[in-house]
Structures are given as C-alpha cells and as structure tokens.
Amino acid sequence: MSISTTHNNKLLKAILIGALAGILCGWFFGTAMQAVEWLGILFLDTLKMTIIPLIVAAVISGVASLGDVRKLGKLGGLTVTYYAATTALAVLTGLILVNIIQPGTGYDIQHTAVAGTVPGKESIGFVDIIQSLISPNLIAAAAETQLLPIIIFCLIFGAALTTTGEKGGPVINFFHGLNEVMMKIVIWIMYFAPVGIFAMIASRLGQAGGGAAFWNEITQVGWYIFTVVLGLTIHFFVLLGILYFFTRRGFAYVNTMLRALLTAFGTSSSSATLPLTIECAIEAGVDKRAVKFVLPLGATVNMDGTALYEAVAVMFIAQAYAVSMSFSEQVIIFITATLAAIGAAGIPQAGLVTMVIVLTAVNLPLEGIGMILAVDWFLDRLRTTVNIWGDSAGAAILENVLE
C-alpha cells in the first residue's frame, strides 16, 4: 500500500521546497500572494473530504483487529495515561519557562495595536467537555466535523463487533476494505501537498501584510513568542527522548513523519492533518492497530503544544496586567490549561477560544487576548506541529503494549 522510500524522499523534498518558497514569496510579495489562497483551500478541502470516512473505517477496523474488548481497555487506559502525562509535562514546561523569562513583565499594554476582541464563542467548562463526547445526531456531528463523538461511537461499534463472532465477520472485512481505499486516496492527495502547503503559507503571510509587517507584529510581543517557541522546541525534544527511550526509534521516525508535521504547519489543523499522520505512521511501520486507535483520538484530545501555549499566554497576560499569580493560582492554570487543550478542537486557532476557560478561572480580563491575537495564526502553526508530534510519538510508544 505504501509508496516507496525514494518516492517519499522526493515528495518530502518537494514539500520542504513548497514550504520554503511559501515563506519567501509571502515575505517578499506580501498581499499579492493572497491570489494563491484558493489553492491552499483546495488542498485543505481535499484533506477534510477524507476525514470522516477515514476515521470511521480506521477506528472500527483498528478496534476490531484488536480482537478482544479487554485489549481495547488496556490500550485505552494506557493511551489516556500517555495523553494526560505528556500534556501535563507540556504545561509544566510552559509554566517554568514563563516564570523564568517573564515575557509580559513591563509590557506596555497600550503598545498593542490590536483591538481587544475575544473570538466569538462563549466560555466552555468541564461539563461541556464531557458532554461533547456524545452526540445525539451523528450525521450532524459529521457535517460539522465534530470528530470526538464520532470516534467514541466507532470505538463502541468496533468493540461490539468483536463480540458478534461469525456474523460480524463481513462487517469487519467491509471496514478493513474501506480503510484501504481511504488510505489510497490519502496517498494521492499527498502529491498535492507541495503546492497546497506553498499556497497556504504564502497567502497567510500575505494576509499579514508580508514580511516587514509580520516582523513588526512579532517584535511587539517578541519575548512572548520566544517563550512559546522555546517551550515547544523543548517539548518536541523531550518527546523525542521519551520515544527513543521506549522504542529506540529516533530521528528516522521524525523523518518519516515530516510530511505530516509540515502539513500540520501548513494547515494549523490536527484534524485536517490526521489522514497524513495515519499514512506516515503506517509507513514508518508502527502497528496499525495502535495507529488507528491512538492517532484519531489524539488528534482531537491530545494537544501538548496547545496546552503549553495556553499556559504561557495566560501568564503573559497576567504579567502584562501586572497581576501576580500565586502558586495556587498557577496550579489552577496548570489544571485548566490541560482541560482547555483537551477541549480544543483540532481546527485553526481553537486554542485561542478555549483559553477563555483558563483566563476566567484565574479572573484575568478576557480583553488580554487582544495582545496576542495578531500573532496567533503563526504560533498556531507551531503548536499544531507539536500536537501532531505528540500523537505520533504516542502511537509508536503505545504499539509496544500490544502483543
């Protein structure tokens, strides 16, 4: 099913060139590059088109091939433990860095040219997150690409299938077949990635007004950006270390996953990247059962990059408003940032919306978001890349618990 290694290397080179050309063209040609935006949207739409049939087929066939509901319980338990542990580690990294670097201390609030607008969604709480697991209408959930209730349904469906014996056989085979077909389509779409990623990066940079305008915005909140980027980089390598420790897979795995990581950077969406994440992980030789279980769930709930970013952003806002955060308040930030990341959908800038939970929990003004709004699209790309890396490392680690 997978395409050959030489082929992949060529494709990876083409995607890298596309990304680089996107940065250069967006930087130098600025707003003119918005003319290619439609190509990026087309790429994104082709990816999105595959998500629902792909995750339905992948999750059901993955769970069915585990063959035993107890195995599902074991894998599920360890997967949730991995998600929780790595997300908490990411928030902790962010909190330590933001306390050391103090990016917001002395920041002039007036300095920001951005209006204090909060993205148009109300705050969501813990109960909302639990409720979002189940949808009364799966078709409506699919139409809105709400993946979590669909995944939960598929997990239940797959688990039930394993108990139906001979009668369930043809149904299992159908989903195995559907999964193969969907993966083939994903491979075809991947050939479009160099152009799509080029267009998405160039047009977004163009929308920001080109290199000079973007640089101006970045430097206004330079220390904040530095703290988030440093945190994400550290977390990326910590995960790589854990991965190496448990699996002896190292940079070769990153290399195989690069196409998915670059797509995450290009699309700012874990959900849209999911088809490629699955393709690359299978190509890297990770057990398909782990891939089909850990990656779809991870794309919607495991967001290390988002969690880290939310903790740093909230502390930055507190520092800018000169509100000191006690240890216990930082514990609240720790807990709520973890929940907010779990609750964030795998779509662009979802983290900015769920940050309202964290700000409200420690009584910070929601208008503070205005300070970081202008650069958020850029940090979103970086944190989405780390989110995808968190899921990918998880699949490779958790395959080891399967016999």
Q: 209: phi > 0 → left, psi -120 to 50 → alpha, else beta; which?
A: left
Whichever of 135 and 263 has its CB closer to ligand ASP, that residue is: 263
Q: Taking the complex as a whole, how short is the minimal distance between the CB of residue 289 and ligand ASP, in angstroms?
A: 24
**Which member of 76, 346, 368, 394 binds ligand ASP (CB under 6 A)?**
346
Question: Of residues 253-312, which lie at the interface with ligand ASP (CB under 6 A)?
Answer: 268-270, 303, 306
Query: Please, what's the b/e burial string for 142-157 (b: 16 or more CB within 10 A of its CB; e: otherwise)?
Result: beebbbbbbbbbbbeb
Closest C-alpha to 317, from 359, 352, 356: 359
Instruction: By CB under 6 A, tell whether 387 contacts ligand ASP.
Output: yes
**What residue number has its CB nearest to ligand ASP?**
351
Question: Count of residues binding ligand ASP (CB under 6 A)?
Answer: 16
**Is residue 1 classed exposed, middle or buried when 0-12, 13-18 and 19+ CB atoms within 10 A define those classes?**
exposed
**Which member of 161, 193, 313, 347 binds ligand ASP (CB under 6 A)?**
347
Whichever of 330 and 387 has its CB closer to ligand ASP, that residue is: 387
Q: Which stretch binds ligand ASP (CB under 6 A): 88-96, 140-148, 168-176, 378-386?
A: 378-386
Side-chain-facing half-sphere of 186: CA atoms under 13 Å: 32
Whichever of 161 and 272 has its CB closer to ligand ASP, that residue is: 272
Query: Please, what's the b/e burial string for 267-303 (b: 16 or more CB within 10 A of its CB; e: otherwise)?
Result: bbbbbbbbbbbbbbbbbbebbbbbbbbbbbbbbbbbb
What span, in angstroms and rounded, lies between the C-alpha atoms of 91 and 379? 16
What span, in angstroms and rounded, lies between the C-alpha atoms of 32 and 378? 19
Whichever of 34 and 349 has its CB closer to ligand ASP, that residue is: 349
**Which member of 349, 366, 367, 402 binds ligand ASP (CB under 6 A)?**
349
Q: Taking the complex as a whole, how short is the minimal distance between the CB of residue 47 and ligand ASP, in angstroms?
A: 12
Residues that bind ligand ASP (CB under 6 A): 268-270, 303, 306, 344, 346-351, 380, 383-384, 387
